[in-house]
Structure 1
Amino acid sequence: MARTQQTGRPSEARTRLLNTALKIFYAEGIHSVGIDRIVEEAQVTRATLYRHFLGKEELVVAYLNEADAAMRAQAEQAAARGHSPADTVRELSRAIAGGIRSPEFRGCAFLNAAAEYPDPEHPVHRAVLAHREWFQTTVTELFTQIRAASAEPAARHFVMLRDGAMASGCLSDAEVVCETFLRGVEGLLQAQIAPETAETGTRAG
């Protein structure tokens, strides 16, 4: 837990620290950015940072938690529009593609963090795994509503498509990467939907 108990609205200093961490850690990497850089850009003192976070490690976890919350909100917004499960997957995929197309895109914050903190017992790595578990579960639930029999492998396929697009988006033409990703998702969806259509047609005949 953070050194300062968070009740009600976060303090302005904590918000500045977290926003600064979000920007710099994502753009430049975590290990390359020191506490002095964070406090300088956030325009706070080291003492202020330590009133809100036990240290850099806790700030990194908070940074990942913020990224996780943004992704969860994105998924909730897609689901709240009342589309079919397949269209919800499509909308979530378009949101992912939109992030890759952004000029500020530097890959997946969670995959980047896992590469810098490979120890599975480290709090940062555990935060990454918690996010991954949520994302896998969310996608699996969507695919279960499309075709329960093959939901788990389809969801794993989707996550791998997403991970590949996130990695390629840093190294290749973002537009080509996004088009390839979205075509891959559509092919995956059609493979899930087609058996149901075929079964309906067989019963109708």
Structure 2
Amino acid sequence: MPIDIVKPPKRLTLAPAKQRILDTADRLFYDEGIRAVGIDRLIAVSSVTKATFYKHYGSKDRLIVEYIAYRHLQVAEAVDAAAQQTDDPEQLLRDILALQMRWIAATGFRGCPFLNAATEFTDASHPVRRAVEEHREWFHELLESLLREIGHPLPGDAADDLMLAHDGAMLGGYASDPIAATAALQRMYDRVLAAVPERAAA
């Protein structure tokens, strides 16, 4: 039976033009930066009219929040797919590590989309920052829950460690050496898992 984890949001079927705008934003915001991409560019690349853009999203800020939610959906779906393949929480933690390593090694990787977005919006109360925070809270809750299931003595602290290692690997993997970044991330997972009493006694 698959592990019961925080389930991903339901993927909605959007109108073709709305989906096209979102897919365009997903690509351009990540590749070029959110503030660097203007509404006129989004409209042109999406092959929609200005009226269509405003009908579906109303403003660029609303589209940015939808972009963050879309990125969260993609991560949550990838984790859920891994969870459907195992009933072992430790294996799922390893599978999450494998996902992180694959993202860092992917062609076109330019860092964590959530951290990238947070750096562009300095106001912590901005809806974009709140959307990023919601994703990070979800990820922390997921890690902490899995660590608690395998009997880690300090699952909250260990989840903090894995979150920080994830952030560092995402940044280091883009700015420097992805191989070194993923190796360091794996070492942190190994250290965290080694603190589980049954493993430590083995």
Q: What TM-score do you get using the length of structure 2 for normalisation? A: 0.90
Quote the residue 1:102 is aligned against.
106
Partner of 1:37: 41
The CA deviation at 1:79 is 1.6
**Residue 146 of structure 2 aligns to which amino acid in structure 1?**
L
* Match of residue 19 from structure 1: 23
Is the 1:64–1:127 Cα contact (8 Å) retained in structure 2?
Answer: yes
Alignment-mate amino acid for residue 170 of structure 2: M
**Structure 1 segment 93-172 matched on structure 2, within 5 A:** 93-172=97-176
User: Which residue of structure 1 aligns with residue 77 of structure 2?
Assistant: 73
Which stretches of structure 1, 4 residues or more, deviate above 4 A after TM superposition?
none
Alignment correspondent of 1:4: none
* 1:196 partnered with 2:198: yes
Aligned-residue sequence identity (percent) comes to 36
The RMSD of aligned alpha carbons is 1.5
| Distance in 2 between residues matched to 1:9 and 1:143, nearest whole Å | 34
TM-fit CA distance, 1:83: 4.1
Amino acid at match of 2:179: E
Aligned-pair distance for 1:24?
0.3
TM-superposition CA deviations, 1:88-110 (whole Å, max 9, x none): 11110110110000111111111
Evaluate the alpha carbon distance shift between residue 45 and residue 144 of structure 1 in structure 2; reply closer, same or farther with a 3 A threshold.
Answer: same
Residues paired across the two proteins, number: 191
More helix per residue: 1
Q: Mark the runs of 5 or more structure 2 residues left unpaired by the alignment.
A: 1-11
Q: Which residue of 2 aligns with 1:28?
A: 32
Separation in structure 2 between the aligned mates of residue 141 and residue 104 of structure 1, nearest angstrom: 32
Is the Cα contact below 8 Å between 2:168 and 2:181 reproduced in 1?
A: no
Q: Secondary structure at the match of 2:192?
A: helix
Equivalent in the alignment of 2:5? none
1:92 aligned partner = 96
* Residues 117 and 124, structure 1, Cα contact 8 Å, conserved in 2: yes
CA change 1:155–1:55 in 2 (3 A) is same
| Superposition TM-score, scaled by structure 1 size | 0.89
Rg larger in 1 or in 2? 1
Q: Which amino acid in 2 is paired with 1:88?
A: L
